Amino acid sequence: MRSGAFSNQPAASPTSMRWRVSPAFTALKCAVAVALAIAAVFFAEDRPALSAALVAAVVAGAYALRDLLAPVRLAADAGGVTVVTGYAGHRRLEWAQVERIRIEARTRAGLRSEFLEIDTGDMLYLLSTYDLNARPADVADELGRLRTAGGSG
């Protein structure tokens, strides 16, 4: 069989995985922050508009900065998971600390949102499709596979 040809053997499963925010969406947030800051220059004579543009630029910039400082929101391996906490911190959780992983789905105003919920008993970590750049249900399936591989099924 020549190199690059398909085989009937399944691909090896990764022993660790990472889920991160979309780099394209982070770039968009940065561009919006810059555009709002530039717009503020044009509103220099109009105090309320200047204030609104500056506040919006700071907020967009803060969200973009968080994405740059902590792009990986969830990482997992056979030993456990690492989740983002606070603005840009991380916390390592061994599988024994994780009581439950489930999907929380809600519909409000006709819009459906899904969250991956990681429950440790004393803390609850919620990660959205945006945080994971993947469907939370798919991530939950992968976490279940990694947890089983670690012997903590």
Annotated domain spans of the chain: 20-71, 72-153
pLDDT computed for residue 42 by the predictor: 87
pTM over 0.85: no
pLDDT by residue for the chain (153 residues), tens digit each? 444 443 344 444 578 899 999 999 999 999 999 999 999 988 888 999 999 999 999 999 999 999 999 999 999 999 999 999 999 999 999 999 999 999 999 899 998 899 999 999 999 999 999 999 999 999 999 999 999 887 666
Give the separation between CA 69 and CA 89, rounded to whole angstroms.
9
Q: Which numeric CATH code is attached to 72-153?
A: 2.30.29
- 15 within 8 A of 67, measured Cβ to Cβ: no
Q: How far is CA 79 from CA 7, 141, 150, in A?
A: 31, 16, 6
pLDDT computed for residue 43 by the predictor: 84
CA count, 13 A, side-chain hemisphere, 126: 6
Give the separation between CA 116 and CA 126, rounded to whole angstroms.
6
Give the separation between CA 107 and CA 112, rounded to whole angstroms.
4
Give the separation between CA 95 and CA 78, rounded to whole angstroms.
8
pLDDT computed for residue 11 by the predictor: 44
